Structure 1
Amino acid sequence: MSLFSKVIQNIRNSFSRTSSMQSVEDYLYYSQVKLQNFIEQRLDKDLGMQDYLKNVKYAPVEDFNPGLEWFNVTEPLSFKKHLKGKVVVLDFFTYCCINCMHIIPDLREIEKEFSVEDGLVVVGVHSAKFENEKISSNILAAVQRYNINHPVVNDANSEMWKNCDVQCWPTLLILGPNSNPIVMFTGEGHKDDLRVCIRNALKFYKENNLISNHQLPLKSAYHFLPELKGPLLFPGKITNFLDENNHELLAVSDTGNNRILILKDDGSILQQIGGRKLGFRDGNLEEAEFNNPQGLVFLNKDILFVADTENHAIRRIDLKKLKVDTVAGTGVQGQDLHGGKLWTSQAISSPWDLCIYRTPDMDLTFHPDGNPPVRNVLIIAMAGTHQIWALFLEDTVWWKCKKYPAGTCINIAGSGKEENRNNSYPHAAGFAQPSGLAICHTTKEVYIADSESSSVRRLHLIDGKVTPVVGGARNPNDLFAFGDKDGALFDAKLQHVLGLAISRNERILFVADTYNHKLKKVDVAENMVTSITIPSVDIKGGSSTGLREPAGLCVSYDNKKLYLADTNNHSIKVLYLDSNQNVNKIETMTLRKACDKVTALDKSKYDIIIRNPLQVSCEGGKLIVSMDLVFENGLGLTEGAPQTWLVDLPDITWSAVPLNGTDLKNIDLVISVPVSEHAKENNVDFIFNLVTCTSETCLPKSFIVRLPIHYQNEKKMSVNEKLTVAISPDKMKIL
């Protein structure tokens, strides 16, 4: 059966259970065909869209079933009440899917342009692929991790998916103000078309008095972060390096905080890189900006490479010169499946993990003594295009004696099709969202955590052959062969594995079996995986040690410990290994500052207004702060001018989400307060840079709202604080 025939058959099957569709042809138009015809006839997107809206007459979709669990709202939403009078975008997604992740920035940008008051509401409909993704606590963590601020519903049994005849992830369905379907988009890359549709739909329905400006009962999912979370927020990956003095350095991608931390092995934080703001910016360690960084690897003690995933870039951190620069990627998602351009001229897509392969230069012409120099090649798990890429850091002669100039960034394995296909020819092989790497120098192989096929694969770096290790299915098109079963090759089952690390003797491969919340090990000679039992009690704190979606790990240089990024527990776990590579004890690493905070922010230029001290527990906890700005005596914000705020925390062991923003109507953040080492006052500063005006003049306003924090011997771990700041032309005060 051809692919088109399969699509038609799926439509016929859907048609048999959907009363709102009058024919198979109508269903096809319900996608993008009919809209495209109107646009082509009018030769103008806006005119074509207006004509389309006058003619489209699909029956309303069924309402959400009662009893579903919702996020970012205080009560379940319905089309009859909350969404009546709104243009609604239903985003059908599953949080493991890289294509679904690519949609999130597009939606965030559109939501900034069209607000709820304007009449637009985006609703995430989470229809899971994996069993683990049906659990509401895991969806909540994903909503927090990916900074999703709109309402999300757990469509655990895919009822809304079926009601709307959705066929794949991601799918976007635009509905009118009476839950009437307008158009459906499948896949990613529709941002411009979405914007045209939404703008014209709002205009059309407003002219017909069908749009309402009412608010929704929103409540940030960040409010449900753990009380004693610590400074990390969804750490993704961890790596290490042994310096010339046998001191082990650790680097952690603190993904949710958009920063990289450099640690000692005792948890002392030596340096923070980035973290003040989500963005894409090179520069010194403080001003650099990242966007959900994941994999990282040391080239040496001074150079660290980072897979800056949602910036679609590879960043280089120079710890000696104290600067960050970009070595590959443009900051915009690329679609190239081949590559071959140099350095930052090569666009890439969602790099997720990195490792360094050291290979002798194969150009013997220049090395007649038979001792060629070793070249460094950065291997990249390119999740966004389902491939393995390489960045050649030096001029290198490699496969088939082909010369790659320094800076060449190129696909070395994978067709770009999302599949679990092993092959003797690297570009005929297929991967499914590769997300973890581990290099074996002895056999010159790289092991790959192929997350969407729930398998571990092997790429031979001598000839490019791709072979199975454990997990997945023999059928290369079966990406649903997941589970939790020890065994060999395809008999073994994993669930969305993300992290790998190889033992120092390179005989055992440790696996973070992410969606099974487990640690496993693979005998690489036998292709045999077995589960590792984790002690149930943390030796340091006596607390439970259950893992939650661990995503990254590395082996200590003495081979006696594993460092594990326990992502949804917001922590780094230290697992102690016995001689059989089993875990005999576990502890949570306590992060502490190793030096005083250094900041480049000059606060002397700001007016400071101070609230009375706020009491928090000396055992740490969570501070939820919301702030309203009230403008008085004819003062208001200058329309179109930039308005920004950010929060400045006492030191590196504190964290906040979000750290900054431009929306002054919804200043709502959660601050993680660390355990008090000394009974002293700390200040949390909210820094505002506003452009205001009266009817006569413009008045820039730069001021700080200071919140003094006092530690007390009390057990209250969660504190809510609501502030109202009145701003007039000549003064400011806290009401």
Structure 2
Amino acid sequence: MCTCFLRNSVYKIENNLIVRMFSRIIMDEDDSIGYSHQKLQSLLQLSNNKDVTVKNYIKSVTYHPVKDFQNGLEWFNVSEPLFFSKHLKGKVVLLDFFTYCCINCMHILPDLKDLENEFSVEDGLVVVGVHSAKFENEKKSKNILAAVQRYNITHPVVNDHQMTMWENCDVHCWPTLLLLGPNANPLVMLTGEGHKEHLHFYIKNALEYYKDQQKISNHKIPLKLACHSLIDINSPLLFPGKIASCINEDVSLEHLAVSDTGNHRILFLKNDGTLLKQIGSGNAGFKDGNFQIAEFNAPQGLVFDGKDVIFVADTENHAIRKLDLQNEIVKTVAGTGFQGNDYKGGRKGKVQEISSPWDVCIYNITDEKDSKQKKVLMIAMAGTHQIWALFLDDTVWWKNQSYSAGTCVAIAGSGREENRNNQYPHAAGFAQPSGLAIHSSNKEIYIADSESSSIRRLSLLDGKVTCVVGGDKNPNNLFAFGDKDGKLQEAKLQHLLGLALANKADILFAADTYNHKLKRVDITTNTIYTLSVAGLNEPGGVTVSFDDKKLYVADTNNHCIKIVTLDDKLSAVTTTTLELNMSQHPLKLSELAAAMSSKVPTYNSKTITISEKGGKLKLKFNFNFVKGLKLNPESVQKWSVKSPNKRWFIAPTSGNNINNIDIICKVSGPHLDKDNLDCFFHLVTCTDEFCIPKKFVIRQPLLFQEGAPSTLESILNVEVDPLQILIIDKLN
């Protein structure tokens, strides 16, 4: 299953294939490095000097070095394959065994990024993602590459498609973290999520211990960021995740809302592709306010509440956001901005912590007490494997339970990751629910249960959970996936993410994501059929037009919206791509950049002259802090890039690690004047006596000229002292 560990418990899968894979899941403690974390924690509990205890433990462990990576494996974020005998020699290496579908694996990515920000490659730490796939679709390198780009993974990743390193390291579940010493010698293994503080402590002491032994090397590794290839995408969208539709009162106009997940924004469109509003600055962050300054982090599901309000599952901010289209204001209505581990809920608004909401829909119910219509926002809470509800009005619901407006609470799912149907909602088990569709007249909600590869039904009358199609009768078997039409569990899907219900028939449409297909489900017979739609690539979301004549599909890895026309029998007829018209953009990015840069000091580097037809510019920053100044290791360091032209493409656009800023910009022409590429920095620096927050802009002027080169690299060496900033340019 996609993580065997939840709440520090182990769930074994009874399936022949998986029993072979996890043939050593039950073993004596002394036989596996996997228990060293527990051993070390036991030692630390008895210790008065924890640093000394960890270093003594490191000195005493005698596990044999792990075997090196095989030749011929495909790697990402590096220019050549890495080996322990060469590139990783003299480094403390953290192996992250993951599979990109797994929500628990996603949860530890911010932890890894924080560790990389604090301990650089030159300091002696290298994080390596070892991708060991669950689904067949995930074994393909092109799909892993897309996932590396989508989740902004910047450390090296290898496709361990035969799970050789997994087996060599005695790994049993996702995610697993294995810390190695400078000779590939295992030190400690941690399973599941939630180990950030332990990892930080172990790595700090390991680096100190091995540096004292003079076994740490400060050499670089051949990094080449996968995100740079995104500049070749000719689309304003980047990994769009979900899509929703809405009509006005007289049914004369249909609008669309798209979660432009990779660009951390929401687009509000006419159904002909004309952009009406961009919601969010495009920077990954967590900020309420007007549409221009608000920030999201990989938003997914969204739903209209009438024509003037949109609710958004802001997935990596672990929050629900409300978008007021009339007043152009973004407001957080649930979630703290940090991942929670609450499995019950009951608190209100921004006080209630939640975990990776992936989709939302609205249920209009009749209050049992006053018989008035009330609204409940249903949430697919992928991070805790549950279904939650955010009550938008004071409501009396199941068993006369009263909920005041703003309360957010779990209504179904035990929190255990499983495919368990049950007549009692909290005894049922889900596995990373990621898509929702509401059937108001039947008072049912349909759930795309991605990790069990099934569609489930939750009764909103009594809470009973039943199977629609897919999955397996064994609730612990989360490997019953495939591509087969049929009825109930004889049908097979592969990690589906999106659902939409037809307006005039009991037909449910499913984005069968890892099969790259759209499918149609008859919910009266629990039977699924494949629609004839070609060319999809991991579609994540789908919505139905008000007249049931079109499907709008968020075709995630194709970075576009597809339109599938339907006949009267709701079968697919034709498929086209929605052409987006961004010319109606109400905000000029150049004006935003100018407004932001006017508020902070701006330092100009030398003008770069590039071809009038445009080209590719690589921009690198090397920071050197002098005169006693240094970065505050306990503070988050931020940088971002603003483009003066919405037709330009930049990757990456922001980050928290200033030790490795490597930006690729695809600029278009012709231009008649200079354009400025503005890089914004918000650093927290300190001397031995006091801290000095530094906000500044480094501006790279560009001049477009006939006959100039179309490919350039600029290296900016930036010297920072307590009083000033000096830029030394080097153009290649």
TM-score higher than 0.5? yes
Q: Answer whether contact 1:232 1:655 (CA < 8 A) is retained.
A: no
Give runs of aligned pairs for residues 22-41 of structure 1, distance below 5 A: 25-27=30-32, 30-41=35-46
Cα gap change, 1:558 to 1:636, in 2 (>3 Å): farther
- Map 1:166-565 onto structure 2 (within 5 A): 166-225=171-230, 227-244=232-249, 246-363=252-369, 366=370, 372-534=371-533, 546-565=535-554
| 1:615 maps onto 2:611 in alignment | yes
Alpha carbons of 1:711 and 1:647: their partners in 2 closer, same or farther (altered >3 Å)? Answer: farther
C-alpha distance in 2, partners of 1:626/1:199?
A: 31
Aligned pairs for 1:642-661 within 5 A: 645-652=639-646, 654-661=648-655
Aligned residue type for 1:310: E
**Cross-structure match for 2:620:** 627
Aligned-residue offset at 1:270: 1.7
SS in structure 1 of the partner of residue 134 of structure 2: coil
In structure 2, relative to structure 1, the CA distance for the partners of 1:305 and 1:610 (3 Å cut) is farther
Q: Residue 675 of structure 2: which of 659, 683, 686 is its match?
A: 683
Structure 2 vs 1, CA of residues 301 and 150 (structure 1 numbering), >3 Å: closer, same or farther? same
Shift of 1:40: 2.3
The correspondence of residues 63-102 of structure 1 with structure 2, limited to 5 A, is 63-102=68-107
Residue type matched to 1:45 in 2? K
* SS class of match (2:44): helix
Which of 243-252 and 430-439 deviates more?
243-252
What is the total number of aligned residue pairs between the two structures?
702
Conservation of the 8 A alpha-carbon contact between 1:501 and 1:511:
yes
Could you tell me which residue of structure 1 aligns to residue 699 of structure 2?
705
Q: Distance between the aligned counterparts of 1:52 and 1:222, measured in 2?
A: 39
The alpha carbon displacement at 1:646 in A equals 2.6
Residue 169 of structure 1 aligns to a residue whose secondary structure is coil
Measured after TM superposition, the shift of residue 272 of structure 1 is: 1.6
Structure 1 residues 284, 655: closer, same or farther in 2, change over 3 A?
farther
Task: Give the CA deviation at 1:23.
Answer: 7.1
Amino acid at match of 1:533: S
Residue of structure 2 equivalent to 1:126: 131
What is the match of residue 666 of structure 1?
660
CA offsets, 1:548-586, max 9 Å, x none? 100001111222111111111111111111212122222
Q: With structure 2 as the length reference, what TM-score do the two structures score?
A: 0.89
Query: Aligned match of 2:576 in 577, 587, 591?
Result: 587
Q: Answer yes or no: is 1:115 the counterpart of 2:105.
A: no
Of 475-484 and 663-672, more deviation after overlay is shown by 663-672
> Partners of 1:47 and 1:734 in 2: how far apart?
45
Please state whether the residue corresponding to 1:235 is helix, strand or coil: coil
| 2:565 corresponds to 1:576 | yes
- Cα gap change, 1:672/1:498 in structure 2, threshold over 3 Å: closer, same or farther? farther
Aligned equivalents of 2:77 and 2:214: distance in 1? 28
CA distance in 2, matches of 1:39, 1:33: 10
Checking the alignment, whether the CA contact within 8 Å between 2:230 and 2:651 is kept in structure 1 is no
2:526 maps to a residue whose letter is N
- CA shift, 1:661, in A, is 3.4
Post-superposition Cα deviations, 1:360-383, rounded to whole Å, max 9, x if no partner, equal: 1111xx4xxxxx221000000000
Partners of 2:90 and 2:694 lie apart in 1 by: 37
Alpha-carbon distance in structure 1 between the residues aligned to 2:703 and 2:464: 59
What stretches of structure 1 of length at least 5 have no aligned partner? Answer: 367-371, 536-545
d(CA) in 2 for partners of 1:268, 1:5:
49
What's the secondary structure of 2:426's corresponding residue?
A: helix
Q: Distance in 1 between matches of 2:214 and 2:458?
A: 60
State the alpha-carbon separation in 2 of the partners of residues 259 and 72 from structure 1: 25
Structure 1 residues 4 and 240, CA gap change in structure 2 (3 angstroms): closer
Cα distance change, pair 699–239 in 1 and its aligned pair in 2 (3 A): closer
Q: Counterpart in 2 of 1:153?
A: 158
Contact 2:468/2:488 (<8 A) preserved: yes
Equivalent residue letter for 1:722: E
Secondary structure class of the residue paired with 1:192 = helix
Equivalent residue of 1:139, what SS?
helix
% identity of equivalent residues: 55
Structure 1 residues 233 and 521 mapped into 2: Cα distance closer, same or farther (>3 Å)?
A: same
Checking the alignment, whether the CA contact within 8 Å between 2:631 and 2:686 is kept in structure 1 is no
Q: CA deviation at 1:685?
A: 1.6
Aligned partners of 2:725, 2:65: CA distance in 1, in Å?
A: 53
Once the two structures are superposed, what CA deviation does each residue of 1:422-463 show, in whole Å capped at 9, x if it has no partner? 111111111100000011112111110000000111111111
Deviations 1:179-199 (A, max 9, x none): 000010011100010011000
| CA 1:92–1:616: 2 relative to 1, 3 Å | farther
Q: What does the per-residue CA deviation read over 1:228-254, in whole Å, with 9 as the maximum and x for residues that have no partner?
A: 331211111111111235322211111
Q: Is the 8 A contact 1:270 1:593 kept in 2?
A: no
